[in-house]
Structures are given as C-alpha cells and as structure tokens.
C-alpha cells in the first residue's frame, strides 16, 4: 500500500471546513476520506503557524532555512580552524633548537 500525498490546498480546505464552518472533525474527515487523527494534526499545524503551515515538498520554513545556513557556516569554520591548527604545528618534531 502506498502512502497518500495531499496538496497544500487540499489540507487548507479541510482545515477551513473545520475551523470556519464549524463542521465536526469526525464528519469532515469522513467526507474527505481521511482518518480523523490526520485531520486533527492538520488543524494543530495550521493553528501553530497559519502562514507557514504545510510548506510542501522541497520547501522549508524560514527557521529551517536559517538552521541549514548556520550548519553550513559551522562546517566551514571548523574546516578553517583545522587548517590553522595544522599550520601552527612544528614542522620538525625531533629537532633541538639552540638559543
């Protein structure tokens, strides 16, 4: 059995049916051929962040984009740090320096 995928518009319409029209979650889920837990989850997601709810495949929320940018920056800084550490090591370990 393959997992069903729903468009952002479909999810928003189902949530509007519950929130705006006052239809019971059980009835709205039955009408849309969904499990009521799925619709409840969609309603919670839409309530938590209405503007960025259901971003879709390949699209991220602004905070997720920022996290990705920061992770790339940390990786770059660690690489630069490692290069500087290698450059600071003495080249000849067994040589005695005379003063």
Q: pTM of the full predicted structure? A: 0.57
Which pLDDT value is given to residue 26? 93
**Of 38, 42, 37, 36, which Cα lies nearest the Cα of 19?**
42
Q: Check: CB of residue 36 under 8 Å from CB of residue 29.
A: yes
Which residue's structure tokens are 């503007």?
51
The H or E element that residue 84 is part of is helix 62-88
Which pLDDT value is given to residue 99? 54
pLDDT tens readout for residues 49-91:
877 788 766 667 778 889 999 999 999 999 999 999 988 877 6
pLDDT tens readout for residues 9-19:
899 999 999 98
Which pLDDT value is given to residue 64? 83
Q: Check: CB of residue 39 under 8 Å from CB of residue 18.
A: yes
Q: Among the listed ranges 11-25, 38-52, 83-97, which one has the minimum average pLDDT value?
A: 83-97
Mean pLDDT of 30-57: 86
């Amino acid at each position: 059995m393959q997992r069903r995928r729903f468009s952002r518009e479909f999810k928003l319409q189902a949530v509007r049916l519950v929130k705006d029209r006052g239809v019971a979650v059980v009835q709205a889920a039955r009408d849309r051929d969904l499990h009521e837990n799925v619709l409840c989850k969609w309603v919670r997601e839409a309530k938590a962040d209405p503007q960025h709810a259901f971003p879709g495949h390949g699209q991220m929320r602004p905070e997720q984009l920022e996290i990705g940018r920061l992770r790339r920056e940390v990786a770059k800084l660690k690489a630069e740090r490692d290069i500087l550490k290698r450059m600071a090591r003495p080249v000849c370990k067994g040589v005695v320096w005379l003063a």
